[in-house]
């Protein structure tokens, strides 16, 4: 059964809002699939089609009407970021063709947002689609009946994780995911390293190169590989710049572009400005572990790897990020570390001063007493491969 956490929000969008629906996410995460499933009769305007692109570039409502079937009021524009002014095109639909409900899909959030933000101010609502969550993977494989945020809900209640007992081999599934990731294609090809290598070669930098945002593709790829080798580690821009022979400002800008194109995400430090707490350097993780493994060219089983702990940490942080976003729980994700090296992998906070500190380990480990001493109001949990799922 093909279901995604975003299904209901997308189904309800035009029942609740008049604004343009913008669905963003990396290539191959299923944006077109989910839109076609939820809006099966929608009209598609694909900007890769040259005649359609030329017509949209006219920015003329009468030309737009000629492209459309008046009997169907749902319109999808795919790859709108390839237009010279995507915001202007969307604004024409919203202001001058209100009978049409506009849906925009795109993998280059930075370009859509930068070019469209002023034109579409107050006229759009963004949604983000990630690679599959563990819950989506299990349901789509027929191993669980319903999508669930129970894993996350128990965490934020401060409930201690339990040892996993399932009627299927959960450990084997997790081990496979930690090597090959959770792109939807992995459902039909669960151990397909060739797919991931091709995705890396043909897709990852496609938008960045087409939009002339990378002056040095070789340096950008080398930077991404360095980041892949240090997931969960602090990002030192000067150190990375020195290794690559490029400027620190370029390193920082490339990392921001990688984030905006849904390759990586960063966590900022949690700090109450105590003198010995790190307050600036981010940590980096990948939106898909399989793509990360393609970057380091390592698809070996976990038992023979020295980075299995890093992979599990990336997986847990990513699962929490997905659940927090899809479930609209409203937590901020950070990490905590002192200059002496005492660290908590993940800190969840809310405006009501709720603090949940999470240690993520391959095997069970004691909680960080240093953090507990500083923040006695915090709930402290340890997640391991044996006890994290419910």
pLDDT at 352 over 90: no
Confirm whether 389 is domain-assigned: no
Contacts of 28 (CB under 8 A, 6+ apart): 183, 184, 185, 199, 203
What Å distances lie between residue 67 and 54, 70, 148, 329, CA to CA? 11, 10, 41, 40
Domain region containing 215: 135-383
Q: Say yes or no: 240 and 360 in one domain.
A: yes
Confirm whether 1 is domain-assigned: no
| Tokens describing residue 233 | 């580690």
Per the DSSP assignment, residues forming a β-bridge with 285 are 265
pLDDT at 211 over 80: no
Q: Say yes or no: 249 and 355 in one domain.
A: yes
DSSP state of 303: G
Confirm whether 207 is domain-assigned: yes
Question: Can you tell me the distance from the alpha carbon of 195 to that of 205, in angstroms, rounded to the nearest whole number?
Answer: 16
What's residue 72's pLDDT? Answer: 87
Q: Say yes or no: 194 and 329 in one domain.
A: yes
Neighbours of 70 (CB within 10 A): 8
Q: Say yes or no: 295 and 355 in one domain.
A: yes
Confirm whether 239 is domain-assigned: yes
When pLDDT is averaged across residues 289-305 and rounded to a whole number, the result is: 95
Neighbours of 68 (CB within 10 A): 16
Lowest mean pLDDT among 3-7, 50-54, 377-381: 377-381
- Please identify, among 93, 128, 163, the residue that sits at the C-terminal boundary of a domain: 128
Question: Can you tell me the distance from the alpha carbon of 124 to that of 373, in angstroms, rounded to the nearest whole number?
Answer: 45
| Tokens describing residue 97 | 């063709």
Q: Say yes or no: 213 and 191 in one domain.
A: yes
- What pLDDT digit, counting tens, does each position of 30-70 carry? 999 999 999 999 999 999 899 999 999 999 999 999 999 88
Residue whose C-alpha is closest to residue 175's, from 305, 287, 302: 302
Q: Say yes or no: 258 and 186 in one domain.
A: yes
What's residue 300's pLDDT? Answer: 96
| Number of domains composing the chain | 2
- Please identify, among 128, 154, 185, the residue that sits at the C-terminal boundary of a domain: 128
Confirm whether 390 is domain-assigned: no
What's residue 145's pLDDT? Answer: 93
When pLDDT is averaged across residues 143-171 and rounded to a whole number, the result is: 87
When pLDDT is averaged across residues 302-309 and rounded to a whole number, the result is: 93
Q: Say yes or no: 98 and 145 in one domain.
A: no
| Tokens describing residue 288 | 């898909």
Give me the helices (H) in the chain, please. Answer: 7-16, 31-38, 50-56, 61-67, 86-96, 109-116, 134-140, 150-156, 170-180, 193-202, 206-210, 217-229, 237-244, 248-260, 289-295, 308-326, 369-374
Q: Say yes or no: 67 and 159 in one domain.
A: no
What Å distances lie between residue 370 and 277, 341, 356, 387, CA to CA? 12, 11, 15, 23
Question: Can you tell me the distance from the alpha carbon of 322 to that of 285, in angstroms, rounded to the nearest whole number?
Answer: 13
Q: What percent of the chain has pLDDT over 90?
A: 65
State CA 34 to chain mean position distance.
16
Q: Say yes or no: 221 and 349 in one domain.
A: yes
| Tokens describing residue 292 | 């990360």
Q: Say yes or no: 209 and 287 in one domain.
A: yes
Give the CATH number for residue 122.
Answer: 3.40.50.300
Q: Say yes or no: 86 and 223 in one domain.
A: no
Q: What is the mean pLDDT of the chain?
A: 90
| Tokens describing residue 286 | 């990948």
Contacts of 90 (CB under 8 A, 6+ apart): 20, 77, 80, 102, 104, 116, 119, 120, 123, 124
Q: Say yes or no: 148 and 243 in one domain.
A: yes
- Please identify, among 102, 128, 154, the residue that sits at the C-terminal boundary of a domain: 128
């Amino acid at each position: 059964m093909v279901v995604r956490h975003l299904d209901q929000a997308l189904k309800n969008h035009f029942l609740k809002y008049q604004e343009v629906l913008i669905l963003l996410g990396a290539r191959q995460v299923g944006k077109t699939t989910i839109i076609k499933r939820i809006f099966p009769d929608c009209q598609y305007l694909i900007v890769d089609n040259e005649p359609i692109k030329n017509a949209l570039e006219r920015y003329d409502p009468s030309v737009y009407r000629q492209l459309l079937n008046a009997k169907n009021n749902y319109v999808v524009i795919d790859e709108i970021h390839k237009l010279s002014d995507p915001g202007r095109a969307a604004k024409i639909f919203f202001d001058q063709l209100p009978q049409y409900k506009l849906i925009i899909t795109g993998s280059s959030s930075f370009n859509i947002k930068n070019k469209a933000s002023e034109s579409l101010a107050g006229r759009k609502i963004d949604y983000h689609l990630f690679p599959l969550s563990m819950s989506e993977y299990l349901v789509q494989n027929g191993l669980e009946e319903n999508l669930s945020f129970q894993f996350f809900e128990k965490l934020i209640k401060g409930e201690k994780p339990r040892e996993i007992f399932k009627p299927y081999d959960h450990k084997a599934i997790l081990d496979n995911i930690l090597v090959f990731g959770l792109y939807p294609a992995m459902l039909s090809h669960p151990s397909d390293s060739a797919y991931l290598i091709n995705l890396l070669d043909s897709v990852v930098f496609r938008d960045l190169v087409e939009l002339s945002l990378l002056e040095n593709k070789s340096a950008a790829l080398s930077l991404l590989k360095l980041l892949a080798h240090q997931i969960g580690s602090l990002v030192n821009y000067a150190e990375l710049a020195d290794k690559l022979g490029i400027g620190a400002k370029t390193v920082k800008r490339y990392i921001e572009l990688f984030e905006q194109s849904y390759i990586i995400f960063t966590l900022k430090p949690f700090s109450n400005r105590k003198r010995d707490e790190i307050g600036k350097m981010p940590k980096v993780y990948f939106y898909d572990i399989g793509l990360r493994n393609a970057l380091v060219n390592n698809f070996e089983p976990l038992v023979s790897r020295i980075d299995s702990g890093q992979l599990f940490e990336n997986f847990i942080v990513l699962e929490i990020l997905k659940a927090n976003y899809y479930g609209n729980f409203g937590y901020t994700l950070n990490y905590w570390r002192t200059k002496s090296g005492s660290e908590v992998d993940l800190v969840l906070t809310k405006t009501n001063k709720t603090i949940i500190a999470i240690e993520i380990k391959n095997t069970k480990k004691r909680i960080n007493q240093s953090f507990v001493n500083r923040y006695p109001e915090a709930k402290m949990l340890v997640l391991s491969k044996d006890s994290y799922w419910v």
